[in-house]
Amino acid sequence: MKEISAALVKAQQEFGPALKTHTNPAFRRKYANLSACIEAVVDALNNNGIFLMQPTHEGTDGVIVETIFIHKSGEQISSGKLHVPAAKHDAQGYGSALTYARRYSLMAACGIAPEDDDGNAASKPAAKMLQPAAKPVVQPAKAPVAPKVIEGKPGAWQLKVSVEPNEFEQSFKEWSAIVRDATQLALDNAGSEADVMAIFRNNINIFDKVKEDASEYDETLAMFTKAKNKFIKDEE
């Protein structure tokens, strides 16, 4: 394992900080999402001939992720398997657990941590010693804000999706991906063009939320167009 070990040492010297660029509205705090963690290490790994892979393994109540470094020489090192239970046993719950597991497995394997806000504050000049220390103000603990749930009209084609990031700190992009997965599942079960239109009408309030990102909304509309055209071709 001499070659991959040497390459990992060089790569780690080039790792950047995992910046806390996203805010979790449920808990009112910033965090480094999966994308920020990957950006902090992937260029350094690739520049030193290392491929990053995060395969998943079968799990009954959640997800199991393994971070593996593969060197161009063929040598490889695994960080071991990390199991994260799913808060909900649905597409949203498993998707959030997967994001959480990949992020923490990667940080542990690479030996990185999110940018230290406390450390930045500690580097500021200290207050004058002659000034009396201010008494700490104890604030009552606030309960976390529960994620809101947005639902379509009740019925066979109703979708239910969490509109706010949950405890796994999912971003809007990740939430939109969960909406697409749920929509695709419904479209796969549609039996006619009328069913396709019913899925769209009954969940229009969810798709209106997706409009916050034009590209995400266009991709959603393309799914409906494809499903509709399938039934039109079958009728011809």
119 confidence band (pLDDT: 50, 70, 90): very low
Dump pLDDT digits (tens) for 122-158.
334 444 444 566 767 776 655 544 456 788 888 888 8
d(CA 145, CA 166) in angstroms, rounded, equals 9
Tokens read off for 54: 């995060």
- Where helices occur in the chain by DSSP H, the ranges are 2-14, 34-47, 91-110, 117-122, 172-188, 193-202, 204-210, 214-235
Considering the entire predicted model, what is its pTM?
Answer: 0.46
Tokens read off for 112: 């990185």
Residue 185 CA to its chain's centroid (Å): 20
Dump pLDDT digits (tens) for 65-109.
999 999 999 999 998 998 988 888 888 888 888 888 898 888 888
Q: ∠ CA(102), CA(146), CA(60), 5° rounding?
A: 40
Residue with tokens 């796969």, as numbered in its chain = 188
